[in-house]
Amino acid sequence: MRPWHVWTAYALCLAVAAAALVALTYQAVESDRSEARARREAALEENCRLALWRMDSTAATLVARESATADGVAPQPPVMARFRLAGIGPATIHAAAGREAAVRAALDVGRRTGFPTAQAPPSGAAPAAAAPADPAAGYQYARSNDELRRRQQVVEQIATQNSFQLQQQPLAALPPTALALIPGWLGAELVLARRTAEDAWEGCLLDWPSLRGDLLGSIADLLPGADLVPCGDAAEDARRLAALPLRLVPGAATTSSADAGWSPLRWALAAAWLAMAAAAFAAAALLAGVLALSERRAAFVSSVTHELRTPLTTFRLYANLLEEGMVPPAEVPVYHATLRTEAERLAHLVENVLAYARLERGAAAPQAAPVLVADLLPRIVERACERARQAGFAWQVTVAADARDMRVRAEPAAVEQVLFNLVDNACKYGRAEPPVIELAVARRGRGIALAVRDHGPGLPAREAARLFQPFRKSARDAAGTAPGVGLGLALARRLARQMGGELTAESPADGGARFVLWLRADTGTGP
């Protein structure tokens, strides 16, 4: 399957999963919003209920007090003035200085439109307004109307108790009538009035701005943005005061501390999106890795096929020539040497492939043991030196004096294979003058460094990062320009790390390439 087929299928699967999660998120968020809105509305209705009870208690007490106050008593806040109006004669007014004109204007309105009269007792019938369609809102609506009826009953009970108390007072203390005052509006003035037995009207005018401020101040902790507005005497409203013709406007619902942050549902959705994103990135990385590995393995198979075909073709051709006697006797040794070189090349290729396969299978790592550098060098340089000479390179070894007596942890066979791969790599690519391969051994940190250097074209920066990847060859020297399958450096680094060392590549300032094998000093005797 081609890579773009895989990525197209991946993109389609990701799009389907994302669309499903988007739909789920939308439904969940809408449900969460509805629930939060219902909680806010329920809290608002509860605060309105408590606020109405507070204000009705205050207002009912005020009405009862004024109903029991005898005519002629000086008004006390929030009462602005007291009046008595009999027929078409002039009104008797007891008001503070500067308020009499406002009282007379209100009484003129009362003469024209009539004074407030007693309201019909509350019935159990539902208000004329239609109930909300939402079940939760309908429940709050019904509960608020029940509260209104209860508050009206409480106000009536307070008035009844007041009438009973009036009957127990001495007659001289009673006002001309014991009827309760009826609240109402005369223009812009709020009045409490009643009709006496002498067919006269008496009552008081309330200081509406002052009363409004007092009532709103008593509920500021519940509804800080609330307001009170006048309403008709017969208005049926769940937020109407039972004692006074006023309607509560609660203002905007405040956000509670529980709704201020994200709900657990939204945190869960965020976690789901993060998990999906992480899974998508992980799947993409896995696909990219698998496809890259597949491409490298395909290139490896192609390269191995090419590398095997070359010596096998040589073997077949030279064997046929030697068998049929078509080679002059003087050139037979040359043919034998070529066959030996191709055999060694094939053996080295197979050795690297098998060694890397063992490492990939998790076979036992090289057993590093303490060894003197002076004893290690003769065992590892002979094969590398022979490979350099066969390729036509001079072999130069430099060992620092303070490095010979060091004891390092290494496995000689693994070090020999690493060094041979480095020299073999230098023989393939280090073709520039002078034709010398250098091995320098010196202390470096808490160990020693074996540096193999050639004087070839060097390491381009864009290719240095992938030199140690398996099944990779330099883009400049791919195909048949340099024998090999791109496995030698990867194998060398794996072997170095399994011994506790490291293999790195460097670019000297004067050109060429340098590969450094670092081996750790033995902790028992090393520095």
Q: Does one domain contain both 315 and 196?
A: no
484 versus 111: the higher-pLDDT residue is: 111
Residue 71 has pLDDT above 60, yes or no: yes
Please determine, for residue 158, whether its predicted confidence score (pLDDT) is greater than 70: no
Looking at the fold, whether 72 and 209 belong to one and the same domain comes out as yes
User: Is there a contact between 518 and 501 (Cβ–Cβ < 8 Å)?
Assistant: yes
Report if residue 115 sits inside a domain.
Answer: yes
Report whether pLDDT(246) > 80: yes
Is position 126 within any domain? yes
Q: For residues 107 and 222, state if they share a domain.
A: yes
User: Looking at the structure, do residues 166 and 52 belong to the same domain, yes or no?
Assistant: yes
Of 150-159, 232-241, 302-311, least confident by mean pLDDT is 150-159
Tell me the residue length of the chain: 527
Question: What's the average model confidence in pLDDT over 414-426?
Answer: 90
Q: Determine the pLDDT at residue 147.
A: 65
Show the DSSP H helices in 240-331 as ranges: 257-260, 264-323
Q: How many domains does the chain have?
A: 3
One-letter amino acid identity for 64?
Answer: A
Do 41 and 168 sit in the same domain of this protein? yes
Higher per-residue pLDDT: 191 or 487: 191
Could you tell me the CATH number of the domain that includes residue 497? 3.30.565.10
DSSP line for 231-262:
--TT---TTB-SSSSEEEE--SPPPPHHHHS-
What is the structure's pLDDT at 458?
Answer: 81
Asked if residue 147 and residue 93 are part of one domain, the reply reads: yes
Residue 526 lies in a domain: no
Kindly state whether residue 496 falls inside one of the protein's structural domains: yes
Specify whether 11 is located in the same domain as 129. Answer: yes
Asked if residue 274 is part of any domain, the answer here is no
Residue found under tokens 């013709």: 245
- Candidates 489, 486, 491, 493; CA nearest to 300 is 486
Mean pLDDT of the chain: 80
User: Which residues make Cβ contacts (< 8 Å) with residue 519, sequence separation at least 6?
Assistant: 408, 409, 410, 415, 447, 448, 449, 450, 496, 499, 500, 501
Examine residue 215 and state whether it is found in any structural domain, yes or no: yes
The C-alpha atoms of residue 473 and residue 463 are separated, in whole angstroms, by 9
Domain that holds residue 11: 3-260
- Residue by residue, what is the 3-state secondary structure of 107-124? HHHHHHHCCCCCCCCCCC
Same domain, 385 and 354: no
- Entry pTM: 0.47
Clarify whether residues 348 and 378 are in a common domain.
no
pLDDT of 177 > 70? The answer is: no
pLDDT band at 210 (very low <50, low <70, confident <90, very high): very high
Among residues 360, 389, 404, which one ends one of the domains? Answer: 360
Let me know: does 483 contact 429? Beta carbons within 8 Å: no
Span 100-153, pLDDT tens digits:
888 888 888 888 888 876 554 444 443 444 444 455 555 555 665 666 667 666
- Residue 404 in any domain: the answer is yes
Q: Read off the pLDDT of each residue in 10-28 and give the average, rounded to a whole number.
A: 93
Least confident of 9-13, 299-303, 349-353: 299-303
- The closest alpha carbon to 63, from 144, 188, 152, 147, belongs to 152
Residues 462 and 489 reside in one and the same domain: yes
For residues 58 and 213, give the distance between their C-alpha atoms in angstroms, rounded to a whole number: 13
Count of C-beta atoms within a 10 Å radius of residue 480? 10
Q: Is the pLDDT confidence value at 12 over 90? A: yes
**Range name among 168-182, 185-199, 492-506 with the lowest pLDDT average:** 168-182
What confidence score (pLDDT) does residue 144 get?
A: 58
DSSP H or E segment with residue 180 = none
Q: What is the pLDDT of residues 249-295, one digit of tens each?
A: 988 766 555 556 778 888 899 999 999 999 999 999 999 988 888 88
Where among 302, 328, 360 does a domain terminate? 360
Let me know if residue 29 belongs to a domain: yes
Q: What confidence tier does 476 reach under pLDDT thresholds 50, 70, 90?
A: very low
Question: Do 388 and 305 lie in a common domain?
Answer: no
What is the rounded distance in angstroms from the CA atom of residue 202 to the CA atom of residue 92? 9
Domain final position from 339, 360, 381: 360
Residues 117 and 253 in one domain: yes
CA angle 15, 21, 22 (to 5 degrees): 85
Which tens digits make up the pLDDT trace of 317-331?
988 988 888 888 888
* Tokens matching residue 243: 């004692």
> For the ranges 7-21, 32-46, 159-173, 406-420, which has the lowest average pLDDT?
159-173
Instruction: Work out the percent of the chain whose per-residue pLDDT is above 70.
Output: 79
